Amino acid sequence: MRKVVLLFGLWSLLSLSHAQLTDRAEPEGEEEVVDLFTTPRTKLAAATSDFGYNLFRQLAARDPKASVFLSPMSISTAFTQLSMGASERAEKQIYRALRYHTLQDSQLHDTLRDLLSSLRATTKGFKSAERILLARKLRLKLEYLNSVENQYGVRPQTLAGGARDLKTVNDWFKQQTGGKVEQVVPSPLSRKTAVLPVGAASFNGKWITRFSKGNKMENFQRDGEAPTLIPMMEQENYPVKMGIDPDLGCTIAQVPMEDGVSMYFFLTDEVTQNLTLIEEALTAEFVQDLSNTLHAVQVLLTLPVIKLSYRTDLLPSLSDLGLSEWLAETDLIKITSQPVKLNGVQHKVVMETAPEGAEYASTTPTAKGQSLALTYRVDRPFLFLVRDEPSGALLFIGKVLNPSDLKRV
């Protein structure tokens, strides 16, 4: 009987109210605004995160039965570079989609450059590369090319208009990501290609606590289909932060990684590919609240050995982000005096995690985290985030319905 009471008490402790997370208690009749992001860097990180959540929702809605994976930081950076070539009207439209209109940061490009520099620290395991591809026939304006290069250290690439372009483009992205991301652009570029933003990112972060068991083939449950065998890693007494959100019907775990990076796993109560409730709840503020609200516990943790690769053209999703008017008339007057359209928005991401970690898990529960035979087993469809805790930047977001969907491409 005592064990039941204790377990019930811990369940109550872990339970999170979605309403409490999204709507802090406010005096009746008054509207209290709590600013969780207080510096230019954290405000910018929150803006790019909210852009990422919006883009993720649109991408997921295109095919609800497909796994999705992207890097909001990489895509935001590519569009920010492109915005430097836009008219004032077009820049405002792009900034609104990127959520920059909330920032009032006169040094936005400097803030983004500094944020990227900190995120790309070797110990975080995050690499990204962004470049705007432009047809030489557009009579490009040197001032734009120089401005982007001076600000971000990357000169937009001019395309000669032949098969050689493809190798040059892909070789550059492979080099910039340390060989992690190959074939960012999958097929030869059309001679009609005029403007093509490209973003690539990889993640090879390290756990703080290692897993003693790795690469054991176990079943991953699928909605309405037979289970599929995937490699899993497992460890007892693993320190995580955890909470149960009954409104979203999921259990959330925050697993720490090196240099201030965390992975958040949102695991539904039932085996389902419908993660819409969770997807709709995600905002920068909601996740920041989570990081402050989840409870430190030790669990028997079982995770997939993650090896994911995903490539997509994001252009079809941009209209639903409020950019349909801009897509019809891009007004890239600082790039070229000729009217141009976007030919696509190529994006590729690669991620790999292994059982290794810097520390061994405790053989017995410690006072820092409660442990009452708790388990957290990610063996069914889940949603995950990779977040830089010091800045709040969303590095990656993904929905995994079947790990085999995200094989190397």
Predicted confidence band at 372 (pLDDT cuts at 50, 70, 90)? Answer: low
* Domains 58-204+308-352 and 207-306+359-406 belong to one CATH topology: no
The whole-angstrom separation of Cα 40 and Cα 115 is: 10
Tell me the per-residue pLDDT of 377-408, one tens digit each, with 9 for 90 and over.
999 999 999 999 999 999 999 999 998 887 76
Predicted confidence band at 164 (pLDDT cuts at 50, 70, 90)? Answer: confident
Q: Which of 90, 120, 111, 123 is nearest to 48 (CA)?
A: 111
Tell me the per-residue pLDDT of 241-272, one tens digit each, with 9 for 90 and over.
999 999 999 999 999 999 999 999 999 999 99
Of 13-17, 118-122, 139-143, 154-158, least confident by mean pLDDT is 13-17
Between vectors from CA 148 to CA 143 and to CA 151, what angle results, nearest 5°?
120
Tell me the per-residue pLDDT of 97-152, one tens digit each, with 9 for 90 and over.
999 998 988 899 999 999 999 999 999 999 999 999 999 999 999 999 999 999 99
The whole-angstrom separation of Cα 259 and Cα 314 is: 30
Bridge partners of residue 70, in order along the sequence: 397
Q: Residue 3 pLDDT more than 60?
A: no
The whole-angstrom separation of Cα 154 and Cα 143 is: 14
Percent of the chain at pLDDT exceeding 70? 88
Percent of the chain at pLDDT exceeding 90? 77
What the block records as the tokens of 378 is 């990610």
Between vectors from CA 162 to CA 161 and to CA 163, what angle results, nearest 5°?
145
Q: Which of 111, 353, 338 is nearest to 232 (CA)?
A: 353
CATH topology of domain 207-306+359-406: Alpha-1-antitrypsin; domain 1 (2.30.39)
CA atoms 149, 37, 52, 92: torsion sign: negative
Tell me the per-residue pLDDT of 45-90, one tens digit each, with 9 for 90 and over.
999 999 999 999 999 999 999 999 999 999 999 999 999 999 999 9
The whole-angstrom separation of Cα 363 and Cα 367 is: 13
Superfamily of domain 58-204+308-352, CATH level 4:
Antithrombin, subunit I, domain 2 (3.30.497.10)
Q: Residue 350 pLDDT more than 50?
A: yes
Q: Residue 34 pLDDT more than 50?
A: no
Give the domain ranges of the chain.
58-204+308-352, 207-306+359-406
Kindly report the three-state secondary structure assignment for every residue of 180-230.
CCCCCCCCCCCCCCCEEEEEEEEECCCEEECCCEEEEEEEEEECCEEEEEE
Q: Taking residues 305-328, report their average pLDDT.
A: 94
- CA end-to-end span of the chain, whole Å? 53
Q: What is the dihedral of CA 84, 86, 90, 92, to 10 degrees?
A: 20
Specify the pTM. Answer: 0.91
Specify the pLDDT at position 355.
78
Bridge partners of residue 152, in order along the sequence: none
Specify the pLDDT at position 17.
62
